């Protein structure tokens, strides 16, 4: 009997079996074209957990006929990386080195990889749940293409449930195994776009109860060993609760969830970075100094570190939670972005164009421009003249 985890047994072996990320691996999309053309290059997969980053790396290596090495930056030593480099130098073609959680490598460790990426000794595929702009050194970032992976949709998760049921029926010879619509909906909501989490619950429920009812799915969670895992569900659930508590101006709850993260050893920069985002996204114009405070907190925890940094985090959390909230700038920007994506680069009004040459001036560039017009007038492209983003 196969004892591999369900997630491993169901891991797709090629792009036709792969579920999700259609913007990258759908017909004529960049990753599919690269794989079909056997074109391997260093890249970074940025996205939430359980969306197929490791699987994509393995498919790329297999389809381009390259050796595949896999390391986790949490535990990998320099000696392990060096041994892979030495092996790579003896191979006729650069192997794929998949480095999970690349953001856990410090600057020196990333610097060590750089010359081998530059020379093409290895094809580096780094996976990260953190923004690579902050966590990957510029030199390595500039030599890699970043692909953003998205959480799986409800439809995609249901396809994975179907495959899991088929496999369990075949493996366990349980032809009557079914899952009600209610159980499916609950499980899809619980998984929150994470296929690995979805499959773990299915596997646990079936192992314990030999069925997949909503009752057995929920009961299985009580028996699972749940703890704060900085790469797992608790990590995302807790930061979500932290942000939502500040958004609700519930200072007590925000400080509680902060304390849970700090007590678990969460990276203070991870927390502070989200506070900086929150200051602009949720407080915005209501209290512009919030961004100043959040940035000061980020700078403080970067310089100080634990244990004292928790005081800076608590100070900033209380301030942001109690600040007035206003998402108008955030909403207005994304409404403007939607118009950019919908209409493309509409012609800019001539009066506000740059006019560095005589010809441009003769063509009307800059004509009629007033630095401080007496009354408000639209400077948007003609197609959007009556548009108001900031309500």
CATH code of residue 315? 1.20.272.10
Residues 142 and 162 in one domain: no
- In this predicted structure, what is the pLDDT of residue 387? 87
How far are the Cα atoms of 40, 96, 126, 150 from residue 33, in angstroms, in the given order?
A: 11, 18, 20, 19
Residues 318 and 242 in one domain: yes
Residue with tokens 């073609």: 93
Residues 289 and 379 in one domain: no
9 within domain boundaries: no
Q: Which among 241, 172, 236 has a CA at the least distance from the CA of 202? A: 172
Residues 47 and 113 in one domain: yes
214 within domain boundaries: yes
- The tally of CA atoms less than 13 A away on the side-chain side of residue 55 is 23
Q: Which among 15, 20, 59, 12 has a CA at the least distance from the CA of 40? A: 59
Residues 248 and 365 in one domain: no
Residues 158 and 131 in one domain: no
Residues 45 and 121 in one domain: yes
- In this predicted structure, what is the pLDDT of residue 170? 84
CATH code of residue 97? 3.40.50.300
User: How many structural domains comprise the chain?
Assistant: 4
366 within domain boundaries: yes
Under-70 pLDDT residues of the chain: 1-3, 173, 222-234, 355-366, 368-375
Residues 177 and 94 in one domain: no
179 within domain boundaries: yes
- In this predicted structure, what is the pLDDT of residue 223? 53
Where does a domain end: 98, 127, 148? 148
11 within domain boundaries: no
Residues 72 and 123 in one domain: yes
Residues 47 and 142 in one domain: yes
In terms of residue numbers, what domain contains 187?
154-223
Residues 120 and 26 in one domain: yes
Where does a domain end: 322, 351, 376? 322
Where does a domain end: 164, 192, 223? 223
Q: Give the model confidence (pLDDT) of 307-331 as tens digits.
A: 888 999 999 999 999 999 999 999 9
Residue with tokens 């407080």: 283
Q: Give the model confidence (pLDDT) of 116-152 as tens digits.
A: 999 999 999 999 988 888 889 999 999 999 999 998 9
Query: pTM above the 0.75 mark?
Result: no
363 within domain boundaries: yes
- In this predicted structure, what is the pLDDT of residue 381? 87
- In this predicted structure, what is the pLDDT of residue 255? 96
Residues 47 and 76 in one domain: yes
4 within domain boundaries: no
- Polymer length in residues for the chain: 391
- In this predicted structure, what is the pLDDT of residue 1? 45
288 within domain boundaries: yes
């Amino acid at each position: 009997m196969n004892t591999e985890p369900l997630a491993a047994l169901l891991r797709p072996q090629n792009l036709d079996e792969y579920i999700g990320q259609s913007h990258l691996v759908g017909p004529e999309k960049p990753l599919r074209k690269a794989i079909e053309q056997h074109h391997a290059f260093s890249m970074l997969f940025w996205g939430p957990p359980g969306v197929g980053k490791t699987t994509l790396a393995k498919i790329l290596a297999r389809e381009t006929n390259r050796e595949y090495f896999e390391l986790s930056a949490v535990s990998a030593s320099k000696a392990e990386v060096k041994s892979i480099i030495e092996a790579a130098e003896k191979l006729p073609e650069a192997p794929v080195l998949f480095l999970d959680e690349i953001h856990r490598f410090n600057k020196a460790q990333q610097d060590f990889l750089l010359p081998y990426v530059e020379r093409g000794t290895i094809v580096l595929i780094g996976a990260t749940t953190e923004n690579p702009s902050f966590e990957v050194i510029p030199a390595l970032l500039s030599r890699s293409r970043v692909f953003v992976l998205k959480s799986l949709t409800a439809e995609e998760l249901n396809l994975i449930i179907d495959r899991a049921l088929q496999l369990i029926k075949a493996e366990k010879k349980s032809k009557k195994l079914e899952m009600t619509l209610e159980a499916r909906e609950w499980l899809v909501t619980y998984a929150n776009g994470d296929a690995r989490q979805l499959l773990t619950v299915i596997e646990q429920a079936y192992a314990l109860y030999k069925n997949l009812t909503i009752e057995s799915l929920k009961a299985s969670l009580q028996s699972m060993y749940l703890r704060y895992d900085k790469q797992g569900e608790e990590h995302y659930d807790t930061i979500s609760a932290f942000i939502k508590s500040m958004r609700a101006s519930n200072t007590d709850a925000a400080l509680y969830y902060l304390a849970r993260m700090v007590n678990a050893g969460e990276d203070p920069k991870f927390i502070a970075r989200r506070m900086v985002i929150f200051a602009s996204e949720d407080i915005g114009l209501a209290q512009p100094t919030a961004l100043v405070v959040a940035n000061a907190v980020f700078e403080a925890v970067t310089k100080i570190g634990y244990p004292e940094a928790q005081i800076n985090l608590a100070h900033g959390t209380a301030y942001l939670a109690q600040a007035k909230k206003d998402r108008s700038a955030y909403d207005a920007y994304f409404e403007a972005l939607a118009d950019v994506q919908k209409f493309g680069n509409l012609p800019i009004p001539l009066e506000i164009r740059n006019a560095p040459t005589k010809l441009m001036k003769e063509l009307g560039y800059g004509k009629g421009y007033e630095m401080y017009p007496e009354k408000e007038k639209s400077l948007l492209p003609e197609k959007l003249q009556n548009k108001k983003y900031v309500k």
